Amino acid sequence: MADKLWTKNVQMTEEIEKFTVGRDREMDLYLAKYDVLGSMAHITMLQSIDLLTADELNILLKELKAIYAQAEKGEFVIEEGVEDVHSQVEMMLTRKLGDVGKKIHSGRSRNDQVLVDLKLFIRDQIKDLAGLVKNLFDELIQKSNEYKDILMPGYTHLQVAMPSSFGLWFGAYAEGLVDDMQYLQAAWKITNRNPLGSAAGYGSSFPLNRQMTTDLLGFDSMDYNVVYAQMGRGKTERNVAFSMASIAGTLAKLAFDACMFNSQNFAFVKLPADCTTGSSIMPHKKNPDVFELTRAKCNKLQSLPVTITMIMNNLPVGYFRDLQIIKEVFLPAFDDLKDCLQMAAYIINKMKVNENILDNPIYDPMFSVEEVNRLAREGMPFRDAYKKVGLDIEAGNFTPDKDIHHTHEGSIGNLCNDRIQALMDEAVAGFKFEKMEKAVAELLK
């Protein structure tokens, strides 16, 4: 059993170590390269306050860049018996450089290390998510414009209700993603603040320059109050999880619609053959498994904020080991959401629309409101028009006029997709990922 960073004279038993470490070694592989980045910024600051010499800084930075490259290639390993990523990085430095490797921990705690690791990790994940949300948005807007004149039934209570269009259907999910992107931007702003230097949650007697590490890592600002920086553990993950759940909610609803509209009873859309699966005994089957799995994964993701809340909800001020468990549900969730976004964009791109749905007379009644409105425009009181059309339908005397004209903003004839596009462009521009990217590139140069 390797010595821990906190080991003194007493060794814990193997059973206790196994229980307390849990899945931390596995989860910390997500954070490896970010732990290295945080250490690079921290030791650069330590040299500026004379806790490291220039020569020590140079050899440490050189070795940390080599470890970063390992992590980038997926070759970083947390060795058996090593507690976490922080211990592994420090051990690698000490093994290679001797006592100078032991100097990197001055002025910080594993508490603020994991805080900054998580924030650096989340920033990259949010950047990936924003790009994938935008890709799906683009596919939906393109389809909305392509099929803007193709009518389809709209439903309430799963009953045929009023005329809708594929332009409206695709465009509705596009605009939904605009709101999700704005929610994601709020999560970004909460995340993009530097906790490094809060140490165990009460600061340090070393004259740390927290603004310097904030600038080196490309954060917008710092979490100023050191106690609050520690209180942010769990809260940050929960807030980010809410933004992920918002995206997942949009995807889950889209997936349900796609499964339903692809079924023979609806036959509104046709999914690409390479995105469906077959049956072991029914040769005709083409199942929408991708969207069914998307629906399930996204419903699971919508529970993530509640799970995180229940883990950290009743903790008082200060650090507690409970927070370690959040990693297990939070870190892998990004991969699930990214996979769902990629799959949805791929299928929407290849989806075909049935342009002749309304040839089926079962959809004729959905034009009843159009007839009521026509009679009202000609002077008949609305309630009288409503009753007349209702009686005509019951008597089998209703003949629909399928040539409809909607002109108001956001309706069948005026989708406002250009304005929805402008809202999305504004949301994307608000992230300003360039500052983060430039700072990290400079640190690794």
- Residue 12: what pLDDT? 60
Do residues 160 and 40 both lie within one domain?
no
To the nearest 10 degrees (0 to 180), the angle between helices 226-262 and 166-191 is: 170
Task: Please give the Cα distance from 101 to 106 (Å, whole number).
Answer: 11
CATH number (domain holding residue 274): 1.20.200.10
Q: Is residue 351 part of a domain?
A: yes
214 Cα distance to chain centroid: 24
Contact 193, 221 (CB under 8 A): yes
Q: Which domain holds residue 57?
A: 14-106
Do residues 267 and 308 both lie within one domain?
yes
Do residues 275 and 347 both lie within one domain?
yes
Digitized pLDDT (tens) for each residue of the chain, 445 residues in all: 455 554 555 566 777 766 766 677 788 999 999 999 999 999 999 999 999 999 999 999 999 999 999 999 999 999 988 889 999 999 999 999 999 999 999 999 999 999 999 999 999 999 999 999 999 999 999 999 999 999 999 999 999 999 999 999 999 999 999 999 999 999 999 999 999 999 999 999 999 999 999 999 999 999 999 999 999 999 999 999 999 999 999 999 999 999 999 999 999 999 888 877 776 777 777 788 899 999 999 999 999 999 999 999 888 998 888 899 999 999 999 999 999 999 999 999 999 999 999 999 999 999 999 999 999 999 999 999 999 999 999 999 999 999 998 999 999 999 999 999 999 999 999 999 999 999 999 999 9
CATH number (domain holding residue 30): 1.10.275.10
Do residues 87 and 209 both lie within one domain?
no
Q: Is residue 400 part of a domain?
A: no
Tokens 């070759």 locate to: 75
Give the bridge partners for 165, in sequence order: 151
The last residue of one of the domains, among 66, 85, 106, is 106
The last residue of one of the domains, among 80, 106, 132, is 106
Q: Is residue 46 part of a domain?
A: yes
- Residue 7: what pLDDT? 54
- Residue 11: what pLDDT? 64
Do residues 129 and 264 both lie within one domain?
yes
Decide the pairing of beta strands 193-194 and 221-222: parallel
Task: Please give the Cα distance from 324 to 23 (Å, whole number).
Answer: 9
Give the bridge partners for 221, in sequence order: 193
Do residues 331 and 277 both lie within one domain?
yes
- Residue 275: what pLDDT? 77
Joined together, the tokens standing for residue 321 give 């080991």
If you write DSSP's letter for every residue of 275-301 in order, what string do you get? G-B--SS-TT--B-HHHHHHHHHHHHH
Do residues 214 and 308 both lie within one domain?
yes
Q: Which amino acid is at 197?
A: G
Give the bridge partners for 411, in sequence order: 414
Question: Which residues, 6 or more positions from 266, have their beta carbon under 8 angstroms from its beta carbon?
Answer: 260
Do residues 350 and 369 both lie within one domain?
no
* Torsions phi, psi for 391 (to 5 deg): -65, -40
The last residue of one of the domains, among 84, 106, 128, is 106
Decide the pairing of beta strands 352-353 and 159-165: unpaired
- Residue 283: what pLDDT? 73
- Residue 1: what pLDDT? 47
Q: Is residue 140 part of a domain?
A: yes
- Residue 38: what pLDDT? 98
Q: Is residue 405 part of a domain?
A: no
Q: Is residue 409 part of a domain?
A: no
Do residues 136 and 264 both lie within one domain?
yes
Joined together, the tokens standing for residue 27 give 């989860």
- Residue 21: what pLDDT? 66
Q: What is the total count of domains within the chain?
A: 3
Do residues 47 and 180 both lie within one domain?
no
Q: Is residue 408 part of a domain?
A: no
Task: Please give the Cα distance from 181 to 340 (Å, whole number).
Answer: 16
With b for 16 or more beta-carbon neighbours within 10 A and e for fewer, the 54-81 pattern comes to eebbebbbebbeebbebbeeeebebeee
Do residues 365 and 430 both lie within one domain?
no
Joined together, the tokens standing for residue 352 give 């075909």
Q: Is residue 7 part of a domain?
A: no
Do residues 267 and 370 both lie within one domain?
no
Q: Which among 392, 396, 394, 376 has a CA at the least distance from the CA of 384?
A: 376
